[in-house]
Structure 1
Amino acid sequence: MEQLVQQIEAYKQEMAAYEASTAEAVEAFRIKYLGTKGLVKEVMGEMKNVPNEQKKAFGLVLNEFKQFAETRYETLKSLGAQEDHAHGNQIDWSLPGDPVAIGSRHPLSLVRNQIVSIFKRLGFAVAEGPEIEDDWHNFGAMNLPEDHPARDMQDTFYISRNPDWLLRTHTSSVQARVMEKQKPPIRVICPGRVYRNETVSARAHCFFHQVEGLYIDENVSFADLKQTLYFFVQEMFGKDVKVRFRPSYFPFTEPSAEMDISCLICGGDGCNICKHTGWVEILGSGMVHPKVLENFGIDPNKYTGFAFGMGVERITQLKYQVNDLRLYSQNDLRFLKQFTGAI
């Protein structure tokens, strides 16, 4: 026991003489003396070799030794913190500041906000609705009969059946909810994400974004629809863009028309984007079908209206000449950083 006591005294002198001017040196002290394999633990392990009649006296010595080591460690840590604080206050004000990274909105958000801004200037309010919809608001209210192919599971992501709940296939469901709660005049646009069970490729995706519009009032005509869309196209793409309407079919509008603009990527000469026609389809439109108005208690003999819908990805593709729809959702910083200045 006498030999252990002498060894403890030597360790105490060694700890008292230990100096640490850095956090690394303080940590080295802790590991050497107080760590799981440190000297304090090693010495305390000698208790098993001490005779029983001396254990009490030796236990007091060990406790005092451990407290001494811990106190010394706290002292060194406190001194080291003061040293770091004093050093940290020595700021070189001549050094340049740290650069601040400038973020940006996603290109789809940029275009969506611009679309909303254009139609707001025409008096359209913004309406939003749930992405998980029931069959009535997504299909039935929009004059899509039960045997319509859009209801098939190859086109629609169904969450449950009987009753049917699904991921909305268009934001027309938001128009349905607006007509359900509001009577004419109605003038809204409905931006949002929609889902369709399509193969992901450079030209298609299983989810994308739409902005649909609805205007219902007395004496609304197809001429009002055309002038509204002419204004939108010129504000979005410039005064020189050419526009054409093509007859089409949608269950919820009659008559219906597709709207094309001259391809901004090839200037109308023909490319892969416009399928070498010089024209790119950007939206579908038409006069609201009387059956849709009747579904919500709106008198089709008194009120008429028009509706339109466009894909935000397609508008963004033309505006920023993006050749692959998958780039929008891959989170590739090399792609996204190109829009840093377009806040």
Structure 2
Amino acid sequence: MIQVHQFLGLKPGPRLIVLGAVHGNETCGTVAMRRLIEELGSGKLHISAGSLTLVPVANPLAFARGQRVGDRNLNRNFRPTLHPQDNEDRIANVLCPLLASHDVLLDLHSFHTAGEPFAMRGPGNNCGTLEPFSLANEEHALAVRLGVRRIVDGWMATYATGVAERLARTPPANRAGLLSVDPFYGMGTTEYMRSQGGISITLECGQHGDASAPEVAYQAIRNALAHLGLIKDTAPPACPEPEYLLLTQVVDRMHTEDTFARPWTSFTPVSRGEVIGVRFGGGAVLAEQDGFVVFPNPHATVGNEWFYLAQLSKPT
């Protein structure tokens, strides 16, 4: 069962949906939404226009277990299926139509290692086949008003490149049933939302367990409500000097004994040729260019994302 809390304004306006605990051990959004539900229930906060839908726990099985996944990663291969095979397939079949009935998605997450909160937005406007989009300006306007200064993009294109590399090293006989070699396996909640004509932001609110992460999540929801005009509050100003980064490469973990050269945190600068990790057997994994390490996961499963690399970018 998935609990959904909905609040309807009496005037027309955008339809905002907020998700928490898509990954069960990322609870900052859950805490923030429970606080907001109390305020809305007591009358301290009032939705005057549009609608607000809150899903504090999007993945109840993973949440109950206190772990990232139930059977698999809900934020991959997020799309409806006629023949659901696992917990996350069944959840997607419930959440996909719910997302499609909204205009804006804010998906609240946290990350493994220490680091500064950041927002992930989608692509620039394009007519391509991977992630066509026409609302980049509206999405950017929301991203810079959520209370964080760092904006990251390039997810789907980078993931698709990573899939091509997986295909190159995976014999055809071993590909059957292997979702991670499908470029659209990179589709998560926000990518699905864009495919349905909406705008969406993933907000990474801080490290798992960081006491300040729920406050980051709460303020982001309040800022989104004010920016979209759902509450009668002063609209938040845009971040005056946002930092833009573009994901450029994903590197998979190939063996359980692959190890990082040091305890990386997201957005640690690296120089071209610097050793990031060491493969089982002794081969060094080097930075191919100057940039930043993003999403380093020392506990990544074999064949999946170990870390990403990013470079400074410009607004699109």
TM-score over 0.5 (shorter chain): no
TM-score by length of 2: 0.24
Higher relative contact order (CA 8 A, sep 6+): 2
Report the structure number with the largest CA radius of gyration.
1
Structure (1 or 2) with the greater helix fraction: 1
Q: Calculate the TM-score normalised by the size of structure 1.
A: 0.23
Please state which structure has a larger fraction of its residues in strand: 2
